[in-house]
Each structure stands twice: as C-alpha cells, then as structure tokens.
A = this chain, B = another copy of it.
C-alpha cells in the first residue's frame, strides 16, 4: 500500500468516512445564545439530574452519544470504537460515560482540541479498514471546569477581560466507512506549539500560534489556498485569539476572510457577559455537531476546515510557573468525496 501522507503533517483518506450522524446537548446559557436553533437538547437544569457536576458531564456525553446513534439509525453495539476524552482530571467525564456502552474504547486527552482529535483518529481507523463504525465525542461543563481549573463557583471570583467561558455541552459524531456525505477527507495532525504565554486566563493568545501553524501546514501540505474552503473554523480561540490568528496570516499577506471561531460563535459575547467567548472541549464539539454540520447538510457550505485547538496546561503546571503548550488538529470535511 502506498502512503496516504502528504507533506509533514497531513493525510488524505483513500476512502473518506461518512458522517452518518451527529448530535449535541447543551446547558441553559448555550441554549440562549445565537446558535440555539442548532442544538438537539437544551437542558434548563445544568445538573442534568445528577448529584455532581462531574456526573452531569458524563450524563451529557451519554445523551449526545445516544442522540447521534439515533440519527445514524444504529445501535451502540454496531460501533467498532468510541474515541473520546474531556478536560477533567483523568478524563472521568468520558470514563463514566463510556462505562456500560460495551464498545471498544480509546481514551484521549487533547484538551479543547478533543473533538478534532477524536474525529481524526476515528476517521483514519475506519479509512484504514479497522472497523465499519466509530463514535467520536467529547464534553465540557462550566461548573466542573471552573472548580477544577480555577476556583469553586461559590467563591465568586472576578473574571479577567481575556477570560473565556467554558461551554456546558457535549457533541458526538458517528462515522461510517460507507455512506453519504459529508465526508472526512483529510486530517492534519498538530504539533505542540508554545510561545511562552503563561496566563491561564488568556488561552486565546496561547492557542492562536498552534492554530496558525496547523492551518498553514494543512494548506501547504495540500497546496490549497484558504479560499478552497467555504469556511475555516477554529476551536475556541475566542475574540482575542481570533484577532491574533488573523493578524499572523495578515503578516504573511493572507487575509482569512472565511475564518470563524466556535468560541465567538456560540455566545453573544457582550449580551451574555462571556468576555472573549466560549471555550472547553464542548465548545467546538457542539458547534461542529450543530451549526456547522447542519449547515453542510443544508447546502450552505461544501468544504469546511475544522480546526480544534487545545491548551495542554493544568493548574499544577501554572502554579509551577510553566507556560502553556498548545495544539491544533485540523479535519477537512466535504460534501463530496
């Protein structure tokens, strides 16, 4: 077999898997934002009926998986793999969601890039012939993330202007080896980029260089111009990170007129008081599995470059004075093979 690798970081899938189903679940705040019509479930009670925020996060993943399976008209037993992860210590949001599903499972940690990471690996596994069906999913919950990364909500801490708001939500994509579009056609695997940003309340600035590196690599590897894509969407850079990314391309003489960012799309930044926008694994996951893939199905876009961005820090690394290693994985999705 010949290699599917093109350039340093990109692969072209020989038999692009079909996105057979996709669904999401969000909390109250997300359900009041500009993308509210694209969500499958908007829960008014952010506990999701559970006794802890961590258990609520697992409940969201189970709901997203069940809905995506339903849309793909498949039982969970049909899945050859689940690829999933989340932000919580030891990824317990995922571990307890996948428990009981009785499906072969690979746990991932890619921080907020997890939707792109899980989709990348699931797509390559099906394209490579290792199975017929796979689920890719992730989640984040404002309350579980805040108390783990920052301070308990009860503390009522003031948020800095560059802060982002962790999305309460979960998204799941069901991929099939055979089927109708949209298809996953290319994957560009990210490298870790760390430009020395140490402010854990300024993730956008930390992640923008990783997004720049991966998008640039993707375009160079495939010899494509940005305009090849109807839309290039980054994970959750937020308003500041998006500006930094646009500026970086502008210095190269490239105007990314077709760039948008899930972190700026999911909330009305001013009216919803979220400062720079949304973040968390759930952010890009629910925007992809709602607004973006629905839009592709409706014929709004034909070619999408979905670029999940993640900041691989922890409270411990921040306390030890470390800067923030970041990553971005890009997945090309097209209505045509």
Contacts and interface: CB of A to CB of B under 8 A. Distances in A.
Chain A, interface SS category: loop
Contacts of A11: 130-131
Interface residues of A, number: 65
A96 interface: yes
Contact of A191 (B54, B89, B103): B103
Interface stretch (A222-230, A284-292, A307-315): A307-315
User: Counting chain B CB atoms within 10 Å of each CB, which of A104, A125, A132 scores highest?
Assistant: A104
Contacts of A181: none
Kindly report how many copies of this chain are found in the complex they form together: 2
Contact of A91 (B81, B95, B98, B312): B312
A5 interface: yes
A301 to B, nearest CB: 26
Interface in A76-110: 80-81, 85, 87-92, 95-96, 98-110
A215 to B, nearest CB: 14
10 contacts: A4-B128, A5-B80, A54-B316, A90-B317, A91-B312, A92-B312, A95-B312, A98-B192, A107-B117, A121-B121
Interface of A: 1-5, 8-9, 11, 14-15, 51-52, 54-55, 80-81, 85, 87-92, 95-96, 98-111, 117, 120-121, 124-125, 127-132, 189-192, 194, 312-317, 320, 322, 325, 327
